[in-house]
Homo-oligomer: A and B are copies of this chain.
Amino acid sequence: MIPEKEITIYDIAKSLNISAATVSRGLKDHPGISKLTKKRIFDAAKDMGYRFNSLASNLRRQRTNTIGVIVPRLNSSFMSDAIAGMEQVANQAGYNLIISQSLETVKKEVENSLTMFNNRVDGLLVSLAYNTQDISHFEAFIKKGIPVIFFDRIFEHIKCPNIIIDNYQAGYEITKHLIAEGGRRIMHVSGNQSRNVYSERFRGYRDALEEFNLPFSDELLIVNNLTALEGIETAVQILSMEKKPEAVFVSNDTCAVACMLELKKQGIKIPEDISFAGFNNDPIAKVVEPNLTTINYHGEEMGELAANILIRHLTNNLEIGPAHTTVLGHELIVRQSSTKKII
């Protein structure tokens, strides 16, 4: 196949006996070009099969109208909602989204950020990998004034706006709820404690226990990767406990549901023997029996907001920093209720 020559604004200019500059302006609907000329330009462009070359334009303008997105995984209910939200806002505003996943490793996060950097993204939306401890790989962006915005799994940095929910408060509320339902011995299953979302929820849990003078011991905390498989392992662990907990607060729904189902299979009654609470309000939470008490978390809204904040920065050429943290709302959704209420 012989690729036809690409039509450029020069070709249009030549065919109309005007300059390329005029064609460029005409196509951009520049005010200082006569209606007639514009019409002729558009017509010729259409006739000749012209296609705008973003690459050349990007190179010249030093901008790409592209937003980079780096997330741990694309395929979780929360994350795909968040990305769907971003896409809508970005698309609306004329930005493209380049998306990559770190697969929970710092190594890929670093590599991906470098690619984004070289590809000259105009800004970055990031949710950090499990074990990212420092964010020096984003310094290059910050130094260049390219906005980096963290959402959900964040890092406190003077130059990077954050978007989160109040994980501490959510952890506190849900634990308090479990206590109100009669739980005295309440377990917590959490993720990597160096990640804000998990450590904050844990802190909320701890504080709720303390407030009600309930003892905490290491036996009550399990830290894993919150997968379904580890939910089952957790169930096994619970079954082997001398003194079983009356309630379990798991830091995500996937793991909570897996754990619940395994315990049910082994004859434990939920919520009578052990009641459960999760986090995220994934679709499975409203389907499992009994339905799972959880924290609702607006993924799509968070994605939209992140994109909106970024685009506002880009549009107004705002200096980044000092960091601004936006806290989105969440809701405790009570779905399990044991019969032994105390409070």
Question: Which residue from chain B places its CB closest to the CB of A261 in the assembled complex?
Answer: B287
Within 8 A of B (CB), among A95-142: 96-101, 103, 108, 112, 115, 117-120, 140
A101 and B84 contacting across the interface, CB-CB below 8 Å: yes
A98 and B100 contacting across the interface, CB-CB below 8 Å: no
- Say yes or no: is A58 at the interface (Cβ < 8 Å to chain B): yes
| Contact partners of A213 in chain B: CB under 8 A | none
A91 and B100 contacting across the interface, CB-CB below 8 Å: yes
A74 and B80 contacting across the interface, CB-CB below 8 Å: yes
Give which listed residue, B54, B282, B289, contacts A119 with CB less than 8 A.
Answer: B54
Bound form: Cα–Cα A84–B91 in Å: 20
| Contact partners of A40 in chain B: CB under 8 A | none
Q: How many copies does the complex hold?
A: 2
A115 and B101 contacting across the interface, CB-CB below 8 Å: no
A51 and B118 contacting across the interface, CB-CB below 8 Å: yes
- Say yes or no: is A283 at the interface (Cβ < 8 Å to chain B): yes
A312 → chain B, closest Cβ, in Å? 18
B120 and A55 contacting across the interface, CB-CB below 8 Å: yes
The number of residues on chain A lying at the interface, defined by a beta carbon within 8 Å of a beta carbon of chain B, is 55
Bound form: Cα–Cα A77–B77 in Å: 7
Give which listed residue, B1, B53, B59, contacts A319 with CB less than 8 A.
Answer: B1
Give which listed residue, B55, B59, B66, B145, contacts A3 with CB less than 8 A.
Answer: B145
- A1-36 interface bits toward B, Cβ cutoff 8 Å, 1 = contact, 0 = none: 101100000000000000000000000000000000
- Say yes or no: is A246 at the interface (Cβ < 8 Å to chain B): no
A73 and B64 contacting across the interface, CB-CB below 8 Å: no
Known A1-B145, A3-B144, A97-B99; judge A52-B87 contact (CB<8 A).
no
Question: Which residue from chain B places its CB closest to the CB of A140 in the assembled complex?
Answer: B51
B74 and A84 contacting across the interface, CB-CB below 8 Å: yes
Bound form: Cα–Cα A56–B119 in Å: 10
| Contact partners of A192 in chain B: CB under 8 A | none
A260 → chain B, closest Cβ, in Å? 9
Supply 20 further A-B pairs (C-beta < 8 A) apart from A75-B299, A99-B99, A288-B288. A51-B140, A52-B118, A53-B118, A55-B55, A55-B59, A56-B59, A59-B59, A74-B80, A75-B80, A75-B300, A84-B101, A87-B100, A87-B101, A88-B103, A91-B108, A96-B98, A97-B100, A282-B283, A287-B287, A289-B289
4 nearest interchain CB pairs? A80-B80, A75-B80, A75-B84, A74-B84
A selection of 29 A-B contacts at a CB cut-off of 8 Å is A1-B319, A3-B144, A51-B117, A51-B140, A52-B118, A54-B119, A55-B58, A55-B59, A55-B64, A55-B120, A56-B59, A74-B80, A74-B83, A74-B87, A75-B77, A75-B84, A75-B300, A83-B99, A84-B101, A88-B101, A96-B98, A96-B115, A97-B98, A97-B99, A98-B98, A261-B287, A282-B283, A283-B284, A287-B288
